[in-house]
């Protein structure tokens, strides 16, 4: 599932759709656009425009403006497991987001689950082969904790160490900290040399602060690199893999109900 870096990259692509008059919307996919009926989103947004693109954790949404210049409903966009945002200009050329990754299959028109056509001829599409993405008006953000990319060190320390569960489980809890997924958690814990199964409330302050610094580092690198798959330890998370820092065997187990990899030497309590 896309994590904060992938969603941030998608948000940056979505910026290309801002301040363009909306001429038409195809919202006929009742699963992706649930609970809305076909035409509901179009009725709310056609003739208006998107004015700002936001993100908190893995959740992305746009502010909108109606045709008469008043504030419209927000438009939530969720990528699901493998959704992508595609924005084109009046010539049909992709804008923003850099080149396509070579491992991605060519986009087929039938996999465009939501399409917004602008008056200039360009389009914003949610491309989703697996149909697990989501587009809806006024998404509920009340259950999300602060964004992992902007939380302060003090707030991070307070939130993560408040529970008695494993530290990895605390990092993955979106009500504690929004944006960290399984790969990013493994990368951050490995970078910080912290045992993923260690009880969060028993971590030394120096370990928590090191975890915070390395989360910042991992997020920056992943956003610049194009996703969490570019993390240093990610390619070594497999049977027979070895820690790229010390050479010790990588271990695998379940922590907080999630598949987890860690260095058998540097991350053992």
**CA-to-CA dists, residue 114 to 35, 122, 131, 196, angstroms:** 14, 14, 10, 39
Return the number of other C-beta atoms located less than 10 Å from residue 202's C-beta: 11
- Tell the residue number behind the tokens 């929004």, with chain if given: 178
Alpha helices, DSSP H, located in the chain = 4-14, 40-45, 153-160, 167-172, 182-192, 205-225
Q: Where do the domains of the chain lie, and which CATH numbers do they carry?
A: 4-137 (3.20.190.10), 153-263 (1.10.8.50)
State the sign of the Cα–Cα–Cα–Cα dihedral 227, 228, 234, 239.
negative
Question: What backbone phi and psi angles, to 5 degrees, belong to 220?
Answer: -60, -45
Return the number of other C-beta atoms located less than 10 Å from residue 78's C-beta: 22
Give the per-residue pLDDT at 106.
55
Q: Tokens for 226, please give them.
A: 């194009």
Q: Tokens for 245, please give them.
A: 């820092």
Give the per-residue pLDDT at 91.
81
Over residues 160-208, the pLDDT tens digits come to 999 899 999 999 999 999 999 999 999 999 999 999 999 999 999 999 9
Over residues 80-119, the pLDDT tens digits come to 988 999 999 988 888 865 544 444 555 566 789 999 999 9
Give the per-residue pLDDT at 105.
53
Whole-model pTM? 0.90
């Amino acid at each position: 599932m896309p994590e904060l870096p992938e969603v941030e990259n998608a948000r940056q692509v979505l910026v290309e759709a801002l301040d363009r008059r909306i001429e038409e919307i195809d919202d006929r996919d009742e699963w992706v656009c649930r609970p809305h009926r076909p035409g509901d989103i179009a009725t709310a947004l056609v003739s208006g425009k998107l004015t700002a693109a936001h993100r908190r954790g893995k959740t992305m949404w746009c502010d909108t403006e109606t045709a008469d210049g008043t504030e419209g409903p927000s438009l939530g966009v969720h990528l699901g497991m493998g959704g992508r945002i595609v924005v084109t200009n009046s010539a049909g050329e992709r804008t923003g987001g850099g080149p396509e990754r070579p491992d991605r299959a060519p986009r087929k028109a039938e996999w465009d689950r939501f399409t917004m056509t602008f008056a200039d001829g360009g389009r914003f599409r949610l491309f989703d082969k697996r149909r697990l993405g989501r587009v809806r008006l006024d998404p509920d953000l009340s259950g999300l904790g602060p964004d992992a990319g902007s939380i302060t060190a003090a707030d991070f320390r307070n939130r993560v160490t408040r529970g008695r569960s494993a530290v990895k489980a605390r990092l993955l809890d979106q009500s504690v900290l929004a944006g960290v997924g399984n790969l990013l958690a493994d990368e951050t814990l490995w970078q910080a040399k912290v045992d993923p199964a260690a009880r969060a409330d028993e971590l030394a302050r120096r370990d928590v602060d090191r975890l915070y610094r390395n989360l910042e580092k991992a997020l920056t690198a992943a956003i610049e690199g194009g996703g969490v798959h570019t993390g240093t330890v990610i390619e070594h998370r497999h049977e027979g893999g070895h820690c790229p820092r010390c050479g010790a065997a990588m271990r695998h187990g379940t922590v907080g109900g999630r598949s987890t990899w860690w260095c058998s030497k540097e991350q053992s309590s």
